[in-house]
Amino acid sequence: MSESKNPEEFYAKLKKQLQDTAMWPSEYLYKFIVPTKGDKIDEVEAIFNDMGAVIETKQSKKGTYTSVSINVRMKNPDAVIEKYLEVANKVEGVISL
C-alpha cells in the first residue's frame, strides 16, 4: 500500500473498498516489507499479538528485507485501518502493501 500525498484520502478510499467487498467481521491479509536487520519483524508481530493471527515471513534473496504476511480476523474496516496506522507509527522503515 503506497500512501499518496494525502494519507487521510488514501485510508478513506481503503475503508470504502473494504466496506464494499467484504462482510464484517472478516479475515484480512496484511502484507508488510521490513528491513531484516534489527527487531523490525518482532515489532510488527507484537502489534498483532493475542489476536489469533497467522504470521508468515519470507526473506528477500539478498536477505536485506523480509516480507511479513499476517492473516487475521478483523471486526470492521476501521479496525483494519487502525492496525495499518499502528504499524506505520511504531515500526520505522516498514512498507505497507
Instruction: Give pLDDT, residue 4.
Output: 47
Q: In residues, how long is the chain? A: 97
Question: What are the backbone dihedrals phi and psi of residue 65, each rounded to the nearest 5 degrees, phi first?
Answer: -125, 160
* pLDDT over threshold 80, residue 92: yes
Instruction: Give pLDDT, residue 5.
Output: 61
pLDDT band of residue 48 (cuts 50, 70, 90) is very high
* pLDDT tens sequence across 58-72: 999 999 999 999 999
* pLDDT over threshold 60, residue 1: no
Indicate the Cα dihedral angle 27, 19, 2, 50, nearest 10°. -30
